[in-house]
A = this chain, B = another copy of it.
Amino acid sequence: MGMVGGGQLARMSAAPAAALGIDFRVLATSPEESAAQVVSDVALGAHDDEHAIVKFAEGCDVVTFDHEHVPPPILEKLEARGVAVRPGPHALINAQDKAIMRRTLEGAGAPVPQWRVVESAGAAEEFADEVGYPFILKTTRGGYDGKGVWRIPDVTELQRVMTVSLPPGAQWLAEAAVPFVQELSAQIARSPSGQTVAYPVVRTVQADGICSEVVAPAPGLDGDRAVDAQKIALDIAGALNVTGMLAVEMFDTGDELLVNELAMRPHNSGHWSIEGAVTSQFENHLRAVLDLPLGSPVMRAPHAVMVNILGGDVGDLYSAYRHVFARDPGLKVHLYGKEVRPGRKVGHVTAVGNDVETLLARARHAADYFSGAIDE
């Protein structure tokens, strides 16, 4: 199995690959990348370098992704050479281009916020006249972790943002701002044979566009609404023929669920599953893309919380262990081996147990201590 991209998702995939005895190769951009530090079989190359990817895929039965933005023509070439690409390019394009994703979702009957591709500031103003300010402006390609997304409060800011150069192939996508009571993520795994399993729907909390916390299962979400969210994710996976993990990020408006984003790979909203579920999202992604029967997604405790560790002023994360582990022997810490830069995701903390507020307080404390926000 080859995974394109050498970030923390590939790094965390290496553990179940080793446990299951699966030969696991990553394509990383440098030997210092997160997964390249810990995986024995590493090829170097960029996600959009056709030659590197074709060479990387030689000897792989299946190619999958830590990094979703491999150009579809390269993936089609791999398929033509007999490599199974999972998810395939026709599914993956929906995670690469938000305009295509919106059209596909609408076609599949999935609920989405009001949206429009806008070619000019004038067209965006017309959209704003219909949905009102503030509204959301995104680049259809090239965004991640809050980059490529703007909340537009007025026409002045609209005109300022639209002077930003678009990434190659990208367009402007305008969307109505959705007032929500919480943001949710519904994750499912789906195999080429069509077997699916649905993880418990979780609450995600964003700060500055970056996922900061996840609570599993989503607090206060009633059972019927949770099933609705799982059904939306299952319907999308089927309609798009997704293989592997699919994360569907949604707004819960209180009245309805609206799909915000899709990710076709293990996702930050599922890191809790390493300790919190019988089968982690990383293991089920491997099992799904290998078309092996999927593992149970059932939770191993009533609640699990995950808090991301964001880079702060302290470059040396290791030295925090003495305090963090002495204070709380039950926490699970994952560091990604990434150079610390302010605001960058460099690790996460998971706590599993019976009381959500206690779990959150414990995990937040550790994450804040790692980032240097607190010193005791």
Contacts from A to B (Cβ < 8 Å): 11-12, 14-15, 17-24, 36-40, 42, 197, 278-279, 287, 292-296, 298, 300-301, 317-318, 321-322, 325-326, 329-330, 332-337, 347, 352
A317 CB to nearest B CB, Å: 7
CB of A293 within 8 A of CB of B278, answer no
Contacts of A24 in B (CB 8 A): 38
CB of B20 within 8 A of CB of A287, answer no
Closest to A346 in B: B21
CB of B317 within 8 A of CB of A21, answer yes
Copies in the complex: 2
CB of B293 within 8 A of CB of A321, answer yes
CB of A329 within 8 A of CB of B296, answer yes
CB of A11 within 8 A of CB of B18, answer yes
The 5 closest A-B pairs by CB, nearest first: A21-B335, A293-B325, A293-B326, A15-B15, A18-B38
CB of A335 within 8 A of CB of B11, answer no
CA–CA, A27 and B15, complex, Å? 20
CB of A330 within 8 A of CB of B21, answer no
CA–CA, A17 and B11, complex, Å? 11
Contacts of A21 in B (CB 8 A): 317-318, 335-337, 347
Contacts of A329 in B (CB 8 A): 197, 278-279, 293-296
CA–CA, A63 and B288, complex, Å? 38
Known contacts A38-B18, A40-B36: A292-B322 contact under CB 8 Å: yes
CA–CA, A318 and B291, complex, Å? 12
- Given A278-B330, A292-B321, 10 extra CB contacts under 8 A: A15-B19, A18-B337, A21-B317, A21-B335, A38-B39, A278-B332, A279-B329, A295-B330, A296-B329, A298-B330
Closest to A317 in B: B21
CA–CA, A287 and B324, complex, Å? 13
A278 CB to nearest B CB, Å: 5
CA–CA, A333 and B21, complex, Å? 9
Contacts of A39 in B (CB 8 A): 38, 40
Closest to A18 in B: B38
Q: Which of A21, A24, A292, A325 has the most CB of B within 10 A?
A: A21
